[in-house]
Amino acid sequence: MTSFSSFANNITADGKFQPESGRYHLVVGLGCPFAHRALIAYKLKGLESAIDLSVVDFEMKDGYWKYFGHEGTTPDPLYGFQSIKQLYDKADPQKLYTGKATVPVLWDRKTETIVSNESHDIVRIFNSQLNNLAKYPNVNLYPDETKAKIDEATDFIMKNIAFQVYKTTSQEEYELSFKTFFNGLENLNERLSKSRYLAGNAITEADIKLFVVLIRFEPAFYNLKYNLYPLSHYDSLFNYIKDLYQNEFIKPTVNFYHIKGIYYTRSSLPEPRLVPIGPNLDHYEIPHNRVNL
């Protein structure tokens, strides 16, 4: 048997994993930006009645995300497990998986294994492979006519925004990352002065990938030394984030306490690891100016 570093299966009508209501289960963490991607797609497509959901805590048990901790988390409805690691062990009894026990996880009850633990793939599965189960099948997060724009925007976000705050281990790397990040915000602010969303007038997977990063900027990243300007300095970008935040399907996926918790209770930080009360984020409720773009 060969080792592997990710679960990257697909759901297809004629494959091992077929689109069936009640068969699949999604595990997310409300603090994790990658899990947040899958959760937003899940809500936008209206898959709640076909796929049930569990939520792990931002704190860990023996180094792994645990179930049923702070408000907003749930027990494991599948097997009563205490941590996500147990679910990975269930899927991989031969111990061939070499990756980390991360979220999101799309679980298959029928075969008792993980379909995918890659957020990008799960978003695509929800978008196109489960339309027969979706309440909103006409929502298309990756339409053919804007794929090139979506791919280019996603590539820019991944290279210049999404991973910058996690990659620095020295002052020199930090200064380069800091410059790349804020130059990237300037670029995105300019782009978004011309269209409501990154690829036009509809939300796509590129917008989801940017939103899950920037909704964490003020409650977490700004205090992690990425503090040149607050998001409100960038008028188009700030209103764009407000627009997405105020979306009736996206807003319920945002939990600022869990977002702060995952960054401020990391084991690499000194004790005491306290979740800050602030900052005040009421400005996300202020009406945006994006409708007429």
Q: Which residues are annotated as a binding site for glutathione?
A: 65, 100-103, 118-119
Q: Is 229 a catalytic residue?
A: no
Please give the Cα distance from 88 to 38 (Å, whole number). 18
Phi, psi of 163 (to 5 degrees): -105, 0
Please give the Cα distance from 49 to 69 (Å, whole number). 25
Q: 42, 79, 136, 166: which is the annotated catalytic residue?
A: 166
Query: How distant, in Å, are the alpha carbons of 28, 118, 167, 194, 231 from that of 159?
Result: 24, 18, 11, 22, 19
Q: Is 174 a catalytic residue?
A: no
Please give the Cα distance from 241 to 228 (Å, whole number). 18
Binding site: residue ranges?
65, 100-103, 118-119
Q: 32, 42, 197, 263: which is the annotated catalytic residue?
A: 32
Please give the Cα distance from 152 to 146 (Å, whole number). 10
Tokens of 171: 């002052």
CB 237 within 8 A of CB 230: no
Helix axes 33-45, 205-214, angle to 10 degrees: 130
Burial of 13 (0-12, 13-18, 19+ CB in 10 A): exposed
The catalytic residue positions are 32, 166
